């Protein structure tokens, strides 16, 4: 955008055009700041999400698994009381609980994927992380879908490379893609550009507000608040869940013994 | 790496993906006491339902079901709210889910029967309602619905039996009284029909349907001037009732022919 400002400083340019260019430049600055804010928040939330899923998410799935096993035995007991043999009852119940079991397995798989991702980021040095972030923001400014020359496809590529800590790809994108701004000349074109910018700012502001209302944001706020009081609420939650799981596993063991499955 | 997998992985940074994957977070927020606990929300669901705020109740149910997809009481309230909101098809899906877990859950059976009735699947409804009655034989609502279904498939004798049983449990239910009167009319027992309509109008003199049907029954037995009296009564309550005006004209014509 510097190009516009330079070309508009000549004296024969009409005043309106110069003022428009000034507003555009301010709005562009604002948009870039907003994009930074939103992208940074998304990164923060993703980190909260990954930490939560590793520390707590798995335990919830484990709890669901134990609950399902207990439910299985309760249903088997019910069928046995109606005259079915254990084997018959087991077969019927397994069939009815199949969907729920598959659902839990699917959730586990999701968590595995997330963990792989965290693993791949673990081996990046602090310097590299800083470099990665810098590059990421630079490219995000250029290619964010809300920018005039932005591209959703390119942004996806950039996000993926960032998530995987892939500096090489980010550097390559930086070298090959110019994403240069097209010089805008007429007043009408400038006005259109300004309107487009305002629309983008509005859209991305809404996205920011929406993110702030998300579950992950609330969780993040509470984790930070607790940290100030030297508490780790995720660990506390995990401990509570582990106690619940242990209790239920006890119950399950008794049921298994009863039916000679232990 | 294949292309589909790439896109899937990248999306986890997006807003949409963040909210899609938030069910585990919601559970944590509730267990940490940052959000109201499930028990508290369940009480709220109950409160909204009994205050007839069915949409609010349904919204709460859907919210809770995102983290407690198999909760029996929540699915029950969802089904009941959908029934009251006349979304009978979705309500039946809820009741089926409950019945899969607990085949003799009377509330689900009775309400599923009612939904089937509303969808005019009378034969199916009768099977389900009879099953509900085998568990809770004295449910006046189930009896009344069963009676209606029997009548709809022209099983008038069956309907009368069911209505009579419902009346023995709740003798002042004007709807059952009215429906029984209608069933008696259907099988030509006009005196008994008139008696039932009288009982309805004694309890609620402005029950328009009963006034109208009483007029019709009088017409059937040729008492046109009595019929006119009742149609006039309708006009005194609802002066713009076109049907009552036509009925009066017709009766006057019939008296003239006589």
B55-112 tens-digit pLDDT: 999 999 998 998 888 899 999 999 999 999 999 999 999 999 999 888 899 999 999 9
CB contact under 8 A, A52 and B28: yes
Q: Which of B3, B6, B9, B100 has the highest number of chain A CBs within 10 A, making it the mutation to test binding with A?
A: B9
Residue B222: partners with Cβ closer than 8 Å, 6 or more residues away: none
Flag whether pLDDT at B6 surpasses 70: no
Give the integer Cα–Cα distance in Å for B24 and B67: 7
Mean pLDDT over the full length of chain A: 83
Whether A57 and B24 have beta carbons less than 8 Å apart is answered as yes
Record the tokens describing residue B85, joined without a space: 């909101």
Is B227 inside any structural domain?
A: yes
- Closest listed residue to residue A251, CA positions, set A81, A69, A100: A69
Return the residue of B nearest to A213 by Cα: B19
A26-56 tens-digit pLDDT: 988 898 888 888 888 888 888 888 889 888 9
3-state SS, B17-58, equals: HHHHCCHHHHHHHHHCCCCCCHHHHHHHHHHHHHCCCHHHHH
* Domain chopping of chain A, boundaries: 125-182
Q: Which of B13, B27, B31 sits opposite A159 (nearest CB)?
A: B13
Residue B11: which pLDDT band, with cuts at 50, 70 and 90? very low
User: Which of A114-118, A122-126, B203-207 bottoms out in mean pLDDT, i.e. has the lowest?
Assistant: A122-126
ipTM of the complex: 0.71
Residue A133: partners with Cβ closer than 8 Å, 6 or more residues away: none
Q: Which of A108, A119, A160, A203 has the highest number of chain B CBs within 10 A, making it the mutation to test binding with B?
A: A160
Residue B50: which pLDDT band, with cuts at 50, 70 and 90? very high
Chain B positions in Cβ-Cβ contact with residue A52 (cut-off 8 Å): 24-25, 28
What CATH number corresponds to the domain at position B224? 1.25.40.10
Record the tokens describing residue B9, joined without a space: 């992985």
Whether A57 and A109 have beta carbons less than 8 Å apart is answered as no
Flag whether pLDDT at A2 surpasses 70: no
Query: To 10 degrees, what angle do helices B174-186 and B156-169 make?
Result: 160
Return the residue of A nearest to B100 by Cα: A96
Is B211 inside any structural domain?
A: yes
pTM of the model: 0.70
Flag whether pLDDT at A7 surpasses 60: no
- Closest listed residue to residue B78, CA positions, set B66, A127, B68, B65: B65
Residue that has been written with the tokens 């069911």 in this structure: B162
Domain that holds residue B239: 197-258
CB contact under 8 A, A45 and B18: yes
Is B257 inside any structural domain?
A: yes
Give the integer Cα–Cα distance in Å for A60 and A102: 15
Higher pLDDT, A159 or A71: A71
* SS3 at position B204: coil
The structural domain count of chain B equals: 1
Flag whether pLDDT at A222 surpasses 80: yes
């Amino acid at each position: 955008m510097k190009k516009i400002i330079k070309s508009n400083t000549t004296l024969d340019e009409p005043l309106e055009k110069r003022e428009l260019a000034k507003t555009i430049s301010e709005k562009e600055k604002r948009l870039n700041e907003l994009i930074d804010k939103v992208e940074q928040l998304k990164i923060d939330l993703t980190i909260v999400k990954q930490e939560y899923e590793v520390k707590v998410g798995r335990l919830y799935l484990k709890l669901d698994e134990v609950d399902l096993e207990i439910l299985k035995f309760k249903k088997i007991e019910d069928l046995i009381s109606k005259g079915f043999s254990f084997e018959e009852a087991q077969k019927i119940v397994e069939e009815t609980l199949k969907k729920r079991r598959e659902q839990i397995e699917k959730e586990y798989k999701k968590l595995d994927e997330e963990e792989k991702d965290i693993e791949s980021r673990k081996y990046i040095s602090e310097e590299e992380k800083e470099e990665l972030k810098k590059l990421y923001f630079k490219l995000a400014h250029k290619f964010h879908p809300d920018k005039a020359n932005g591209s959703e496809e390119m942004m996806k590529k950039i996000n993926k490379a960032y998530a995987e800590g892939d500096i090489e790809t980010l550097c390559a994108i930086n070298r090959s893609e110019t994403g240069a701004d097209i010089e805008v000349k007429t007043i009408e074109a400038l006005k259109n550009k300004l309107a487009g910018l305002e629309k983008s700012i509005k859209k991305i502001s809404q996205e920011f507000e929406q993110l702030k209302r998300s579950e992950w944001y609330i969780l993040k706020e509470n984790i930070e608040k607790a940290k100030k009081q030297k508490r780790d609420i995720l660990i506390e939650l995990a401990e509570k869940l582990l106690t619940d799981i242990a209790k239920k596993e006890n119950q399950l063991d008794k049921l298994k013994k009863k039916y000679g499955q232990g | 790496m294949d292309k589909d997998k790439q896109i899937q992985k990248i999306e986890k940074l997006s807003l949409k993906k963040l909210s899609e994957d938030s069910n585990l977070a919601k559970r944590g927020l509730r267990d940490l006491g940052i959000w109201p606990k499930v028990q508290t929300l369940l009480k709220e669901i109950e409160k909204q339902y009994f205050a007839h705020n069915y949409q609010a109740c349904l919204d709460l149910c859907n919210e809770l079901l995102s983290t407690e997809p198999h909760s029996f009481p929540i699915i029950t309230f969802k089904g009941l709210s959908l029934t009251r909101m006349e979304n009978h098809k979705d309500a039946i899906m809820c009741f089926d889910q409950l019945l899969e877990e607990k085949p003799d859950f009377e509330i689900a059976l009775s309400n599923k029967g009612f939904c089937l009735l509303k969808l005019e699947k009378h034969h199916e409804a009768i099977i389900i309602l009879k099953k509900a009655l085998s568990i809770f034989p004295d449910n006046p609502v189930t009896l009344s619905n069963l009676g209606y279904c029997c009548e709809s498939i022209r099983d008038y004798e069956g309907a009368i039996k069911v209505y009579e049983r419902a009346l023995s449990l709740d003798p002042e239910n004007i709807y059952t009284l009215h429906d029984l009167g209608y069933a008696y009319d259907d099988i030509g027992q006009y005196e008994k029909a008139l008696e039932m309509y009288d009982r309805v109008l004694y309890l609620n003199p402005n029950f328009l349907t009963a006034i109208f049907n009483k007029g019709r029954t009088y017409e059937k037995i040729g008492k046109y001037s009595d019929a006119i009296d009742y149609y006039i009564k309708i006009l005194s309550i609802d002066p713009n009732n076109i049907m009552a005006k036509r009925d009066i004209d017709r009766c006057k014509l019939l008296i003239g022919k006589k």
